[in-house]
Structure formats: structure tokens, C-alpha cells
Amino acid sequence: MRDIGATTMSNSTHRLLPLTKPALEQPNSTSCSAPASALANRAAPANKTVSAKTNLIGVTALRGWAAVAVVVLHACMPYSTPAMPGLVWSVTDTPSQTATVLMWSIEVVIMPVFLVVAGFLASQSMANRGPSKTLKNRLKRLGWPLLWTTLFLIPVDLYIWLCGLLADGVITPRKLQSLKFDDALDSKIWGLSHLWFLQYLMTYVALLALGWDRLQSIGTTSLRRWGLPACLGIAVAVLAARPEVVWGFQHAFLPVASKWIYSGVFFLAGAMWWRLDPQLQALTEHSKRLIGPSVMLWTAAVTVGIWWLTQAPNATASMVNQTSLAILTVAAAACVTFALVGLSMRKVNRLGPITGRLASASFLIYLLHHPVVGLAHISAKYAATDFPVWIKVVGVTLIGVGAGIVVDFLGQCRRERSASGTNETSQDTLPFESAARMVPESTESRTRAA
């Protein structure tokens, strides 16, 4: 059943995003003036660099708004019914079906979006700069933030959660000092929280660097016929066995095997897509064809997923339901992700003030929002008891996003003062506009891949 689902998704993708066969037979060239269709379908030899100075403003905009979607996802957590299995939140508030649907709609697709984009940009960087330089650069960009936030932000995050649990009567005051909890709570509260993405991403980049020559030696025909379908098949198999990868939360300090494999599949798909369509030309041209299937698969996956969470089926029926849910979830995640990337490239030609600011601050929004949102939820529950849920969600989202934007803005002001003496930044150009023209290299360091 998993093979049938993976084959069906692969065939649908081939029909929706046709990549012309003659382009595969053309000789390789590093010229930026080569036809986009040829670049999208030509296999890059392992010993040559592919220079594709593609304007990825659309991808930059997508990552900025995707960071906002992560905050919205977390802003909906206390109001979800049923709650996300395996997740302990700072408080539990008034249930809302609207917040539940919104939360799961984002949950199904948000990490695939970041992972596919991260895989695509990592491949582009390795082609232009080499695997070793890219790996060193990524480990520095991701490793230091992970280290410092783990040392200083995670403890703050933990005690905010404990204060909320204390207010809800889940724990006693003594637990704030002893940090010894019953088994059910203890297994859920310890871990990297939202920072797991940085840890996983570093391992994926390292493995991609090690296998870069091997990936380059695989023909694009093989990648289209076998590589991408295999990725989808593996994702379905993992999710059928462990649905909590998406339809739940796995909290730990070290990577969880099922979550690591499922997430890695989408990163690898992004890396493969760079080989097939390095300028995203085919995806941009045919993205409109993905809108209809994406909406249908997305709606079906969220509907079935919420239904599955509310049921208690027997073991046999559960495996059938889990496999069906896995096929729908992976299909929706893949289809929506590629549709969003293509539509962003198609529609966004420049970054407006709001999108530019979000893109510039997206990495800091991701790093800092979690404890801010948790604390805002505690305040919203006990200080705004009678407020409608949608007002609480909007307010918490604005606070969470605003924290990252403020820190990013202060950092930019400091850099501008430092650079003013050497004229490194133009007086009439906003920093995020300058960075946007240097996509992906400059903006990559400021935003996620998630």
C-alpha cells in the first residue's frame, strides 16, 4: 500500500511538473546564460562547479512568512482539542476547534517547507563553494546559536513552563526546586524544545557534504524516476510506523530515529531538486497546477488526522488508518511545499517593508519566540480570561514575532553604526534590502530551512 501511494504521488508530480527530456542530453555548461530548462534537467558532474546566480527573492519571502507560521502554530497550542500527543505546553486554555484546525494545518507542512528549502540551498552552496566550505559555514551558523540558546534560553524556557504548570495545578511548588517529576511528565519535559531543528539540520548538511560526489554522479533521470519517489516512500513508511513524528511530539536531547529519518527525507528531496531544477524555473512555471491537488490533499490530511487523534481503534484498524493517514500526510506535505516554493518564486519579485523585515528577522524569530509565547500564554489565560481565543492567538503571535524583530532591529542598528565610518552600508538602502539582493548567501545566514 505504501508503494502504491509513493508511485501515485511520483506520477502526479511528473505530470504536473514536466521536465523536458532533450535537456538531459545537452552538454554541461557553467554559463549563467544557458536556458533555464536545460539547467533544470542536466546532471552536474561531480568535478565541476555549477554557477547558478538565481534570484531567490521568492524563497527568502517564503522563509520569512514561514517563521511567522511557526509562531502561529505555537500560539494555537493551548487551545487545541485534541491536544498534541507527547507535548507539554505552559498552560491549557479554552478549547477551540478553529485553533485546532489552524494548528494542524500548519504542523503538516511547515517543517517540510523549511527542510526542502534548506536542502536546496545547501546543494546550491556546495556546488558554488564546495562541500567543505559549506559544511564549515553551516556548522558555524547553526552550531553557535544552538550552543548558546541551549545553555541560556532552554533553562529560561523550562522554568516558564514549570510556572505555568504550577499555576494550572499540574505540579507542586517543591518541583520547581527538585525538578523531579512523575514518569509521564518527566519523559515529555526534558529536551531541546524547538531547537531540535538546528541539531538535525547540522547532521543533514554533514551527510550531504560527505555524499556530495556520489549525489553528483547520479543522473537526473534516475533522480526523477527513483530518487524522489524513494524519498516519499520512506517518509510514508516511517510515518505509518510512528505517526507521532507529525501527529504528535517527540521531545529529547538527542535525535529521535523516526523523526530524524522523516525530516531528512525532505532535506534530501530539496537537495535532489537542486539537481533537477537549480534555478527553480520548471517549478515556477508549473506551480499553478499544484494548487488544486495541494488544497485537496491538505484538507484531507488535516481532516483525517484530527479524526484519527480522536479515535481509539483496534490494533488492525489502527495500522490501516495509520498507513492511510501517512500517505495523505506525506502527499500533502510534498505537494504543498513545492507549490509554495513555486508560487513564491512566481509572485514575489521584490521584498516589501513587512516581508523584508520578517525575512531579515526570521532566524531570531525562530530562536527567541518559544519562551516568549509560553509566557504570553500564561498571561493570556489568567489576565485575559474573558477574551475570545482568536484575540489571544493573534496577540500571542504578535508578541512572539515582535520579540525577534526587535532584537534583529537592534542588531542592525549596531552594525550600521559600526559600518558608518567605512560606508559599508548605503545611507539610502535598508539592510534587509541589501541582503535580499545577495540571496541566497547573505540572507541565508539570517533566516532558517527549515
Q: How many CB atoms lie within 10 A of CB 308?
A: 17
Q: What is the mean pLDDT of residues 259-267?
A: 98
The Cα 155–Cα 187 span in angstroms is 17
Distance (Å, rounded) from C-alpha 335 to C-alpha 295? 9
Give the separation between CA 283 and CA 339, rounded to whole angstroms.
8
Q: How confident is the model at residue 316 (pLDDT cuts 50, 70, 90)?
A: low
Stronger pLDDT, 39 or 266, i.e. the higher one: 266
Confidence band (pLDDT; 50, 70, 90) for 317?
low
User: Taking residues 239-246, what's their average pLDDT?
Assistant: 96
Which residue, 223, 236, 260, 197, is CA-closest to 123?
223
**Phi-psi region at 385: left, alpha or beta (left = phi > 0; alpha = psi -120 to 50):** alpha
Residue ranges per domain, the chain? 2-19+90-349
Nearest to 87 by CA among 172, 185, 192: 185
pLDDT band at 418 (very low <50, low <70, confident <90, very high): confident
Q: Angle at Cα 272 formed by Cα 267 and Cα 276, nearest 5°?
A: 145
Encoded amino acid at 387, one letter:
F
Instruction: HSE, CB side, 13 Å, CA atoms: give it for residue 43.
Output: 18
Average pLDDT over residues 234-253: 96
Mean per-residue pLDDT over the chain, rounded: 84
> How many Å from the N-terminal Cα to the C-terminal Cα in the chain?
29
Residue 218 has pLDDT above 90, yes or no: yes
pLDDT-based confidence at residue 39 (cuts at 50, 70, 90): very low
Q: What is the pLDDT of residue 2?
A: 40
Cβ-contact 29, 13 below 8 angstroms = no
The pLDDT assigned to 35 comes to 35
Q: Between vectors from CA 120 to CA 118 and to CA 121, what angle results, nearest 5°?
A: 65
Using a 10 angstrom Cβ sphere, with 0-12 exposed, 13-18 middle and 19 or more buried, the burial of residue 408 is buried
Are 60 and 433 in contact by the 8 Å Cβ rule? The answer is: no
Q: From residue 323, give the alpha-carbon distance in Å to each of 229, 301, 307.
A: 17, 12, 14
Calculated CA dihedral for residues 45, 47, 51, 56, nearest 10 degrees: 70
Residue 86 Ramachandran class (φ > 0 left, ψ -120 to 50 alpha, else beta): left
DSSP states of 280-294: -HHHHHHGGGGHHHH
Type and span of the H or E element at 381: helix 353-383
d(CA 97, CA 245): 22
Q: How far is 343 from 357, CA to CA, in rounded Å? A: 20
* Structure-model confidence comparison of residues 29 and 79, the more confident one: 79
How many Cβ atoms are within 10 Å of 439's Cβ, its own excluded?
Answer: 22
Q: Average pLDDT for residues 222-247, to the nearest whole number? A: 96
- Asked if residue 242 has pLDDT above 70, the reply is yes
Burial of 297 (0-12, 13-18, 19+ CB in 10 A): buried
pLDDT above 50 for 424: no
The torsion angles phi and psi of 325, rounded to 5 degrees, stand at -65, -40
Q: Are 125 and 137 in contact (CB under 8 A)?
A: yes
Find out whether 98 and 81 touch, Cβ atoms under 8 Å: no
Long-range contacts of 301-307 (CB under 8 A, 24+ apart): 301/108, 301/325, 301/328, 301/329, 301/331, 301/332, 301/333, 302/101, 302/104, 302/105, 302/108, 302/332, 304/328, 305/104, 305/108, 305/246, 305/247, 305/329, 306/82, 306/100, 306/101, 306/104
pLDDT reported for residue 351: 93
Residue 146 has pLDDT above 60, yes or no: yes
Instruction: Give Cβ neighbours of residue 137 (< 8 Å, ≥ 6 apart).
Output: 125, 129
Residue 425 pLDDT exceeds 70:
no
